[in-house]
Amino acid sequence: VYMVVRNMDKGRAAVEQLRKELGPVKLHLLQADFESMREVLGVAAELKGVRIDLLISIIGTFFPGPFKMASAQEQWPAAGLTTEDGLEQTLATNFFSGALLALSLVDQMKSPGSRIIFMIMFARELASRLRHRGIDVFAVQPGVVWTPVHAKMDRSHYLAAWAVSGSGLFFGQTQYHGAWSTLYAATEPSLSGKGFGYFGPNMLGLWHATERQPGTKQARNPVTCWRLFEETVKVLEEIVGSAAMPPVPGNPDDAQGAAPLKGNYRGAHKPTATAA
């Protein structure tokens, strides 16, 4: 098992805790800050040649202090919230880094039944591009979980902060239970060959081994997922350059004679110029 961490001291402590609980397991630490796409590619380079059976490409962070958007006079993203690549910090860490890591490592997933765990819309489109390889791509959400991340919450809007913190404190699950949906998607044998699935809690966020439908119409729309995937690839290629960009699996519907669904998007749903 390879674990990527920002802080090696915390990573070593986590490894020691796991070895105490599980015995002499083989755990390897890699260090990277996933705000940086350069460091994501560095992790992929360190893993070159390693056979990968399971990739949990879920990277998350919570930046302390108020959430600040750019004003009308500022160029977005706002100054102070951007990464070295010019991305907003949360988007860079929580989304773009995971997408780039998955694309960088997918060619090392050779075994039938290999799995990738990532975010819903990108995962759904990636699954359609990898189905012929026998790679499943799943998305998960943890439900209501009480973790130390709540201590970083902006409390200037105290009613909203109290509502979120209170729901987590009184109804939230432990971190152990919050990991169930991810572990289920990663290890449940009956899911092999499914292609795509979204797993998370029902029952007020307290029951996890459940397949769900995404809550928004955009996430249920394959055309929207395709469009998000394509735009994500464009952004990543602009950042890392075409030479460093990993190969991007093609969608079978993007070949000549594309499915009507994609054709409808490229025709009727494309923005068109209108007279002023």
Map out the domains of the chain with their CATH numbers: 32-142+179-266 (3.40.50.720)
Q: At what angle do helices 222-240 and 97-105 cross, to 10 degrees?
A: 90
- The number of residues making up the chain comes to 276
Contacts of 248 (CB under 8 A, 6+ apart): 103, 233
Q: Is residue 245 very low, low, confident or very high in pLDDT (cuts 50, 70, 90)?
A: very high
Contact 120, 57 (CB under 8 A): no
Residue whose structure tokens are 């955009």: 218
- Is residue 121 scored above 50 in pLDDT? yes
Amino acid present at 58:
I
Residue 269 to residue 227: CA distance in whole angstroms = 11
Copy the structure tokens of residue 76.
Answer: 């977005």
256 band by pLDDT with thresholds 50, 70 and 90: very low
Report the percent of the chain where pLDDT is more than 90. 55
Judged by DSSP in three states, 194 sits in coil
Cα distances from 72 to residues 65, 69, 78, in angstroms, run 21, 9, 10
Residue 154 pLDDT level (bands cut at 50, 70, 90): low
Are the C-beta atoms of residues 11 and 3 closer than 8 Å to each other? Answer: yes
